[in-house]
Structure 1
């Protein structure tokens, strides 16, 4: 019977690692498994490479697993990639890597996925991302240096639309949660009261999948924004992080979670 030599085993192991790294770096379609149904995103890995590489690193590190959708504005955006629910408030922020360079090549039209940022800081994106519910290009393509669109939803947008129909408590979509419960200081939410992203996995590792897309170019990027970060359309600018913080503090006070 043939037996592998130590050298062949080492080479095989090296090949396996190289293959894994290749798959990880070239992935263009990822699938999100959530408590409200799944959806898939096709990434623009060749045209927004820095953003996609950053996004894939969070996926490969498992950082997005068991995070929650922490902000939803109906007919605007759904935002995630920043927080976990660990049984009490405030939500627990995930560890983030260094911020990345902005790549505002594509337009923030419906079903596109883009990076959230700190206000007045174009190159501040880390882990948080959002999905556009409608065409937000007039605002988000020019605000804060333009928000980087790095992919688009190719499957499951209906599930994302359904999330927008859920009860919202302090900007957080919360299934099976009523206004009375949100205002009740004695009611403590459970895991099932959040839209949880259970896992994010690579669905297709081919770099050619983007050829089937027809992304809309950002033609407004060189125009000056006529709206400030506090205008109500920031897609993750500093004003919205501030609102989120205030919301979580308020919710914690209402619920008095120990």
Structure 2
């Protein structure tokens, strides 16, 4: 083998190693799994969940999904240009709305930014680790408002496909005050005159979530998604938790870039020995 040919093959080997490690690193940072479908009376919305980056939040959400906790749920809050919120109440043929049973609050995981099309957990004021069943979908870029407030609101998934067209239709519905948490609730085919005349909305008037189901539980789904990281979390005036390490446990882990450097160094060292 000629000296030139030898170096050419070695350079190709280095490039392959770098490409392989970069690909593996990106996969560990941005790989996502589990797609769920939010089925409503206005259409279905597919959401890709960020299992690897917000594992506790996704597990918490899927517990409600798998137990049927979101069946017959009501979209109870709409703030145009801000959020559409659900996950807390059901309609059982009479008002007020019923509160769904909730489990243990989940630990906050403020990895990603509250930009348009992301789904995040709602929680109690001044209590970062208080999220249970309620979630919201961001209608706009709410990063400046929500990424640092109250420890940062945990984004755990992203609407995919044509789902935001359904969310946008919901956001254009008129809102009404039915009291309590439903003081800004969107209603279908219900007018201000109806409210003025004391008419009570029925099942046909609510934006109902008939169910949320898992449609793809593959190890990795939609790996092309590149969620925006939360860069505001440490700018809050209060005591906020540091973002957890991306892609799993931090114990004994090594920065992928360090692995790339080590691999390339090994090849270069080998080349020197073989000269």
TM-score (norm: length of structure 2): 0.71
Matched positions, count: 200
The 8 Å contact of residues 151 and 236 in structure 2, kept in 1 or not, is answered as no
1:66-81 correspondence to structure 2 within 5 Å: 66-81=72-87
Could you list the structure 1 runs, at least 4 aligned residues long, displaced by more than 6 angstroms after superposition.
Answer: none
Paired position in structure 2 for 1:179:
192
Paired position in structure 2 for 1:9:
none
Paired position in structure 2 for 1:231:
none
Paired position in structure 2 for 1:169:
176
Alpha-carbon distance, 1:224 to partner: 1.7
1:119-138 correspondence to structure 2 within 5 Å: 119-138=125-144
Paired position in structure 1 for 2:104:
98
1:74-89 correspondence to structure 2 within 5 Å: 74-89=80-95
* Structure 2 residues without counterparts, runs of 5 or longer: 1-31, 178-183, 239-275
The 8 Å contact of residues 36 and 212 in structure 2, kept in 1 or not, is answered as yes
Paired position in structure 2 for 1:236:
none
Counterpart among 177, 191, 195 of residue 207 in structure 2: 195
Alpha-carbon distance, 1:27 to partner: 5.7
Q: CA offsets, 1:129-149, max 9 Å, x none?
A: 000000000010010000000
Paired position in structure 1 for 2:226:
214
> What RMSD, in angstroms, separates the aligned Cα atoms of the two structures?
1.4
Give the SS at the match of 2:106: coil
* Structure 1 residues without counterparts, runs of 5 or longer: 1-25, 227-258
Paired position in structure 1 for 2:255:
none
The 8 Å contact of residues 28 and 210 in structure 1, kept in 2 or not, is answered as no
Measured in 2, the distance between the counterparts of 1:63 and 1:56 equals 10
TM-score (norm: length of structure 1): 0.75
